[in-house]
């Protein structure tokens, strides 16, 4: 029995329960998936080596969106580089702003006011929700379900309206800066935020009924691209891709920052509910569960929000002391890290960024081996990569 027969028998396909005719022959074929493909946010090329419908090897080629962000950091001031962080994971710009600001503040021993810290948590979690809504909607679209895509983007618009009211932007914000946040909330913003949270919670149940437990969607994603916990750890996976493999690791719990230790929330993990722990369905479902936890965190942060300044007394031209630091935050796609080296000037001497999407994409050759050609889109979509963060 060859690999194709074994695969179909494993899947339980009734069309292949009988004997396969002996005169059927397959040959290896090399296919280009990309460099542009709707399964990815950006530009990616995946070279596939196939034997009939079976994928023998999948090799990702990156670099098409490279913009030299780390090198450009050496030519601009610390505050100016905040604008470049927006363009890394452009679906989670608030979280990127936060990671860089925390690294600079840690090196410069800058104390951020309490109100600003709670505002940072609120905006970071709102952006996590918005990012996961894109991931959920686009993943449904990849699997042939159009309606969830429209619903998820409808909900995301409410988040973008809140961002626009606070900072005037809807995609690249530069709102979280070194020392705090750029400005305080406008009048009525907190009430609008609470209304959105009340509106969103029942919608997640709607997504489950529409997509998560849809028979076709489960067949396309369960037991596809299985990544066991040991393999996920070996490849440096983080975020929902790691937690989807059943590993309960979240920096907000393990190494709290921005007062996350004050909040009561859970870390969702994959449990193999529809197939195998670490499959594409688990990675997808963890993101839905994380949206519920983000709602819990935001409500608690809104309750803790007290009057006070939103910006520390930091000079407009920030000058950090000589030294170096590596700091990580829990972004929607995993751990975003900044290795910042300073020589005491107003610009970084060196900056290295650890993008979670880059590490998560590295698992593709290992988990795509011996899957079906039609499953590659399901596997790639479950990784939820953003190429702006892969290439930088």
Q: Is the pLDDT of residue 226 over 70?
A: yes
CA distances from 347 to 77, 324, 328 (A): 5, 13, 20
- Return the percentage of the chain with pLDDT > 70, whole number: 91
Query: Which of 49-53, 160-164, 183-187 has the least mean pLDDT?
Result: 49-53
Tens digits of per-residue pLDDT, 244-262?
A: 999 999 999 999 999 999 9
Tens digits of per-residue pLDDT, 146-179?
A: 999 999 999 999 999 999 999 999 989 899 999 9
Helix, strand, or coil (residue 342): strand
CB atoms within 10 A of CB 75: 11
CB atoms within 10 A of CB 363: 22
Mark out the alpha helices in the chain (DSSP H runs): 3-11, 69-72, 78-86, 93-108, 114-142, 147-167, 189-207, 215-221, 229-234, 240-243, 251-254, 280-304, 356-361, 364-368, 375-383, 387-391
For the chain, give every domain's residue range.
69-391
**Token pair listed for 147:** 């309606």
**41 pLDDT band (50/70/90 cuts)?**
low
Predicted confidence at residue 15, as pLDDT, reads 43
C-alpha distance across the termini of the chain, in Å: 45
Q: What share of the chain is helix, strand, coil (3-state, %, to 5)?
A: 50, 15, 35
The pLDDT of 228-235, averaged and rounded, is 93
**19 pLDDT band (50/70/90 cuts)?**
low
CB atoms within 10 A of CB 238: 26
The DSSP secondary-structure symbol of 27 reads -
Q: Is the pLDDT of residue 69 over 80?
A: yes
The pLDDT of 223-229, averaged and rounded, is 90
Write out the CATH class of domain 69-391. mainly alpha
Predicted confidence at residue 35, as pLDDT, reads 65
The DSSP secondary-structure symbol of 113 reads P
CA distances from 254 to 3, 18, 372 (A): 42, 52, 37
Q: Which residue has the tokens 């494993």?
A: 10
Helix, strand, or coil (residue 66): coil
Residues in CB range of 355: below 8 A, 6 or more apart: 88, 89, 336, 389, 390, 392
Q: Is the pLDDT of residue 180 over 60?
A: yes
pTM: 0.89
Q: Is the pLDDT of residue 24 over 90?
A: no
Is 237:363 a contact under the CB 8 Å cutoff?
yes
Predicted confidence at residue 100, as pLDDT, reads 94
Residue closest to 287 by CA, chosen among 242, 320, 319, 257: 242
Residue closest to 385 by CA, chosen among 86, 90, 56: 90
Predicted confidence at residue 178, as pLDDT, reads 93
Average pLDDT over the chain, rounded to an integer: 88
- Rounded to 10°, the helix 114-142/147-167 angle is 160
Pairing label, strands 350-354, 180-181? unpaired
Q: Which helix (H) or strand (E) holds 340?
A: strand 334-342
């Amino acid at each position: 029995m060859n690999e194709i027969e074994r695969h179909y028998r494993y899947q339980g396909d009734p069309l292949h329960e009988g004997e396969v005719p002996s005169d059927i022959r397959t040959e290896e074929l090399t296919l280009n998936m990309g460099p542009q493909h709707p399964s990815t946010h950006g530009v990616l090329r995946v070279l596939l080596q196939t034997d009939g419908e079976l994928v023998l090897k999948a090799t990702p080629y990156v670099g098409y969106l490279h913009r030299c962000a780390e090198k450009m950091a050496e030519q601009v001031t610390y505050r100016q580089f905040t604008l470049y962080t927006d363009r890394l994971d452009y679906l989670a710009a608030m979280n990127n702003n936060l990671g860089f600001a925390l690294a600079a503040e840690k090196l410069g021993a800058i104390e951020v006011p309490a109100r600003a810290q709670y505002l940072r948590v609120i905006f970071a979690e709102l952006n996590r929700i918005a990012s996961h809504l894109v991931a959920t909607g686009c993943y449904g679209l990849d699997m042939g379900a159009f309606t969830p895509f429209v619903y998820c983007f409808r909900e995301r618009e409410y988040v973008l309206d809140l961002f626009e009211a606070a900072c005037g932007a809807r995609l690249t914000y530069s709102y979280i800066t070194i020392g705090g946040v750029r400005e305080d909330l406008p009048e009525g913003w907190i009430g609008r935020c609470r209304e959105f949270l009340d509106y969103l919670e029942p919608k997640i149940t709607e997504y489950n009924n529409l997509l998560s437990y849809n028979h076709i969607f489960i067949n396309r994603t369960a037991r596809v691209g299985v990544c066991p916990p040991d393999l996920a750890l070996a490849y440096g996976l983080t975020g929902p891709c790691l937690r989807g493999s059943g590993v309960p690791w979240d920096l907000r719990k393990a190494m709290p920052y921005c007062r996350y230790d004050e909040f009561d929330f859970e870390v969702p993990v994959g449990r193999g509910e529809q197939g195998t722990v670490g499959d594409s369905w688990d990675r997808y479902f963890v993101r839905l569960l994380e949206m519920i936890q983000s709602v819990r965190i935001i409500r608690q942060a809104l309750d803790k929000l007290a009057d006070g300044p939103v910006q520390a007394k930091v000079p407009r031209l920030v000058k950090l002391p000589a030294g170096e630091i590596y700091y990580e935050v829990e972004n929607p796609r995993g751990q975003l890290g900044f290795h910042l080296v300073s020589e005491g000037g107003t610009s970084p001497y060196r900056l290295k960024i650890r993008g979670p999407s880059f590490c998560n994409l590295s698992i593709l050759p290992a988990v795509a081996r011996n899957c079906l050609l039609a499953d590659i889109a399901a596997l790639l979509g479950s990784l939820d990569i953003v190429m702006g963060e892969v290439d930088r």
